[in-house]
Structure 1
Amino acid sequence: MHIYQIRQKSSRAILWTGAALDPQSALDAMAREAGYRDFDGLPETLRAQGFETADLG
């Protein structure tokens, strides 16, 4: 497992930091923590803003 940090591209706000197997798993975990099924369950308006996923190690 790695530690990932997810930021919103436009505002650079940190949305989630935590352990995950890979970047996609990190995006899914972020979405679940926000109350959605997974990353694909986020509204398109949110996904369209873009996210940056950084592997912190």
Structure 2
Amino acid sequence: MTIFQIRQATTGAVLWTGGAENEQQALDAMAREAGYADFASIPESVRGTDTRVDRLNLG
């Protein structure tokens, strides 16, 4: 499992940090913690196009 950090690219605000197998699973995990079924369920006006997913190198 890899650690990912999801940020709003415009502001740099960290939206979620945690373990996932890939970027899509990280986005879905973030969405579930926010009360949505998955990332695609987040309204486009909230989801936007400036979501940045980074794989963290902790070793």
Alignment TM class, shorter chain as reference:
over 0.9
Structure 2: give runs of 5+ residues left out of the alignment: none
Q: Which runs of 4+ in 1 moved over 2 A?
A: none
Residue identity matched to 2:18: G
Aligned residues: 57
Structure 1: give runs of 5+ residues left out of the alignment: none
**Deviation (angstroms), 1:46:** 1.4
Q: CA RMSD in A?
A: 1.0
**Deviation (angstroms), 1:47:** 1.7
**Residue pairs, 1:15-34, within 5 angstroms:** 15-34=15-34
Q: What TM-score, normalized by structure 1, do the two folds share?
A: 0.93
> What SS is found at the alignment partner of 2:45?
helix
Q: What TM-score, normalized by structure 2, do the two folds share?
A: 0.90
